[in-house]
Amino acid sequence: MSKNKWVAAYNDIVKHLYETMDDALHTLGEALEISTEKAGKTSDLSKEELDKVSGYVKRDVESAARDLSAEQNDKELGEWFKFDIELIENFALDAFLSVADKTRIQLAEIEERARMHKYQSGEITIPGTFICDSCGKEIAFKTTSEIPVCPVCHATTFVRM
């Protein structure tokens, strides 16, 4: 299975999520279900694989929603991604951040259940910098990517910086 298909599905789900959440009638969970179903119509990934990619999108949107405020400027966004956001290529950043902002409001209602997300090798994620849970090695992605094993200690768990 080509991970490029997973990356394409991730980006497709984000695109549909942006469109679905634009009407403000859906929770993130409902919008993700709709968006995953729409993405499934053009993807050759199985339902289980699409659900897994959808989980990655949910994890990233919730993480961004907690960490980004509505008033942030490009410099602060660059800090969140840990590099100049103008260098991000092939990614619907505006759509993602719009969804993240709407989700930030929803997350305020479930804050007590929210916890720090752990990222695992093999998962797909949006651009950003990740820190190995074992050795502290930083790995930066400028496009939607698959998280590799740590190049230093070969650990498989990371946190977003």
Give me the pLDDT at residue 150, please.
95
Grade residue 114 by pLDDT with cuts at 50, 70 and 90.
Answer: very low
Helix (H), strand (E), coil (C) string for the chain: CCHHHHHHHHHHHHHHHHHHHCCCCCCHHHHHHHHHHHHHCCCCCCHHHHHHHHHHHHHHHHHHHHHCCCCCCHHHHHHHHCCCHHHCCCCCHHHHHHHHHHHHHHHHHCHHHCCCCCEECCCEECCEEEEECCCCCEEEECCCEECCCCCCCCCCEEEEC
Give me the pLDDT at residue 133, please.
85
- For the cut 60, the answer to whether the pLDDT of residue 70 exceeds it is no
Give me the pLDDT at residue 110, please.
44
Give me the pLDDT at residue 15, please.
83
Mean pLDDT of 63-67: 71
Mean pLDDT of 69-98: 51
Q: What is the pTM of this model?
A: 0.58
Mean pLDDT of 23-51: 86
What would the pLDDT profile of 16-28 be if each residue is shown by its tens digit? 887 887 666 677 7
Average pLDDT, the chain: 76
